[in-house]
Structure 1
Amino acid sequence: MAKEVTDLTTIDLFVDEKRPGRPRTNPFPRNVQVKINKRNQVKRDKNKGLKRVEFKLHHEVFEQLDGLAKDKGVSRSELIESLIIDALASNTNSTK
C-alpha cells in the first residue's frame, strides 16, 4: 500500500518508524504544512476583504519606509496602506 502524505487514515501504519529528534506534532511534512497555512491565510484575508498587492522598491526607499514604520510603531503594510489612503484622499480633493 502506498503512503499518501495528506492521508490521515494511513498514518498509523507507519508509527513503528523511529526517527531522531523531537516527536512530530503535525502528520504532514513541512512543505505541505506551508501550503496549508498559506491557503488558510489567503482565506482569512479574503474574508477580511483584503487583496494582495505586490511591487518592487529600490533598497533606499525600502529602508526609509521600514524606518518610518518602526518609528510610528506600525507594520510596513499598515504604513503603506495609510500613505496610499492619504494620497488618494488628497488626489480626490484636488480634482474637485
Structure 2
Amino acid sequence: MAKQNADITTIDLFSDEKRPGRPKTNPYSRSVQVKINKRNQVKRDKSNGLKRVEFKIHQSIIEQLEQLATSKGVNRSELIEALIVEALAKQQN
C-alpha cells in the first residue's frame, strides 16, 4: 500500500511527520496570554511609580504631538509627560 498525503484513514502513517508552523510553547490561548501580559505590565508600571491616564483628544493634535516627538527623539508618552511637567512648573512660578 502506497502512502498518500491525502489519505486520512491511515493516520498512523502520518504520526511521525512534523506539522508546519511554530510549535506551541505556552499552554494558554492567545487571549489569556494577552491578559496575563497586561496584568504584569500594570504591576511593573505601578512598582515604578507610574499611573495610567487616558483621555481623548482630536486627531490633528495627535499628529502634531507625533511630529514633535519624532523631532525631539522621544516617544509620544514621554513628550506629553514633559509638556505637563513644564506646564506645572510654570504654574508654580
Which residue does the alignment assign to 1:21? 21
* Separation (CA, whole Å) in 2 of partners of 1:61 and 1:83: 13
Q: Normalized against structure 2, the TM-score is what?
A: 0.77
Determine if the alignment matches structure 1 residue 69 to structure 2 residue 85: no
Q: How many angstroms apart in 2 are the aligned matches of 1:48 and 1:72?
A: 24
Instruction: Quote the sequence identity (%).
Output: 71
Correspondences of 1:24-63 after superposition (within 5 Å): 24-63=24-63
After superposition, the C-alpha distances for 1:30-64 in whole angstroms (9 at most, x for unaligned) are 00000000000000000000000001111111100
Consecutive unaligned residues in structure 2, runs of 5 or more: 1-17
RMSD: 1.4
SS at match of 1:74: coil
Task: Describe how 1:78-93 pairs up with structure 2 within 5 A.
Answer: 78-93=78-93
**How many residue pairs get matched?**
76
| TM-score, structure 1 as length reference | 0.75
Q: Provide runs of 4+ in structure 1 moved above 3 Å.
A: none
1:61 aligned partner, one-letter code? I
Task: Kindly state the Cα deviation for residue 26 of structure 1 after the two structures are TM-superposed.
Answer: 1.2
Q: Taking CA–CA contacts closer than 8 Å with sequence separation of 6 or more, which of the two structures ends up with the larger relative contact order?
A: 1
